[in-house]
Structures are given as C-alpha cells and as structure tokens.
Amino acid sequence: MQTPAKQERIAIRTATPDDARELLEIYAPYVTKTAITFEYEIPALEEFRDRIANTLKKYPYLVAEHGGRLLGYAYTHPFVGRAAYDRAVETSIYVREEQQKSGVGKKLYTALEAVSKAQNILNMNACIGYPETEDEHLTKNSVQFHAHMGYRMVGQFYKCGYKFGTWYHMVWMEKIIGRHTADPAPVIPFPDLKCVSSIQ
C-alpha cells in the first residue's frame, strides 16, 4: 500500500477526457468490489471519456493530483433534468483505495463546493448506498464523510439497490450552500466561470 500524499502537495484541477484511463482505474474497484456504486459493469474507456466530456459542458469535474498521479475525482451533475431543479445538483466522488481517509476527499469536495457556489448552485445532494448491516462491500463511511462535510440526512429508500446478492438501502443527504430568494441568480455553466483556470 502506498503512503497517502501530503495534503499541501495535492493540486486540484479540472479533469479532461484525456484523464479517462487513469480515472477509470480509480473507479473500477468501486464497481467490482463495492456497492458504493450500483453499476454492475466497468464502463468502456470511450464511454467514460464521454461521461467526462458531457459533464464538463455545464458542471465541474475535478481531479486531485500529486506528483503527476491522479488520486481521486469529484463532479456534479443534474439533480433532476427539469429547469425548476437547475440550482440543485447531485455530487459524486471517488478516491483511490489507498488514499481513503487521507484528506483527498475533503480537498476535492471543498473545491467542488466553491465552484458550485460560483455557479449560483444552492443545493448539493448526495445519493449514497447504505447498508442495513455493514459488510465487505458497503459500510457507512460515505454517510459519515458527508456528515463531516456538513451534509444532513433528508431521506431513505429501503432495499432498493441489489448487488452481490444483497439488498441495500439508499439515502439522500443534502447541503445548502446559498440563500433561496424569490429571484435567484441564473446558473452559470462551468466553462463560463472566470475561476476555472485558477482552480488549484
């Protein structure tokens, strides 16, 4: 197991489709070994490239990098695909197995929240697999991480995800990052943000 990178040496930058191969290496173990994602099959490289490119048309897709190696990534995507929900997003985050609990996730989520605020996003929502009883495929660590980052539990769906022969619950957690007014500012697409080039 590699030593976790020192936080002060970790850079946060915008992902590109060319990062797809390395990011897929990070994601693959979550598919094959965990119920953190309910995806059954590892996506093809080209599909994963397309996912990154499509996300970046409107939303941030950030990577944590240390010494030229990617340690994790986080991004937002539509909460619900209707205009009324534009100021709410769903978050996703994946960190290399050996970098878990090293501070990489916190650094990524802090940057993701800052960018989302700049976009005039108000609600950040996380959809999280949740075990009735912790097992080798799923623990409650993700819920604990989100709680540490200021998210609160807002809902639970029971035994709605099936993987590895087990039924898992799914919970929603939410963090409000702005004021809800009668005339909210429009959402700024990620490519139009002036801060994009300065994310570090």
Is the separation of the CB atoms in 149 and 175 below 8 Å?
yes
What is the model's pLDDT at position 80? 86
Locus of tokens 């007014």: 181
Q: Is 42 within the bounds of a domain?
A: yes
d(CA 167, CA 179): 37
**Which residue range is the domain that position 36 belongs to?**
8-186
Percent of the chain at pLDDT > 70 equals 93
Question: Which pair of structure tokens corresponds to residue 113?
Answer: 């929240």
Specify whether the CB–CB gap between 71 and 104 falls below 8 A: yes
pLDDT tens across 49-94, in order?
999 999 999 999 999 999 999 999 999 999 988 999 999 999 999 9
| Mean pLDDT value across residues 8-16 | 90
Angle separating helix axes 45-55 and 20-33, nearest 10 degrees: 110
Phi and psi at residue 192, to the nearest 5°:
-90, -5
Residue 170: inside a domain:
yes
Number of domains forming the structure of the chain? 1
Q: What is the pTM of this model?
A: 0.92
Domain CATH for 56: 3.40.630.30
Residue 83 included in any domain = yes
- Does any domain span residue 193? no
Assigned domain for 90 exists = yes
pLDDT of residue 198: 47
Please provide the DSSP assignment of 101-121 as one string: TTTHHHHHHHHHHHHHHHTT-
**pLDDT tens-digit map of 168-197:** 999 999 999 999 999 999 999 999 997 654
**Angular region, 21: left φ>0, alpha ψ -120 to 50, beta rest:** alpha
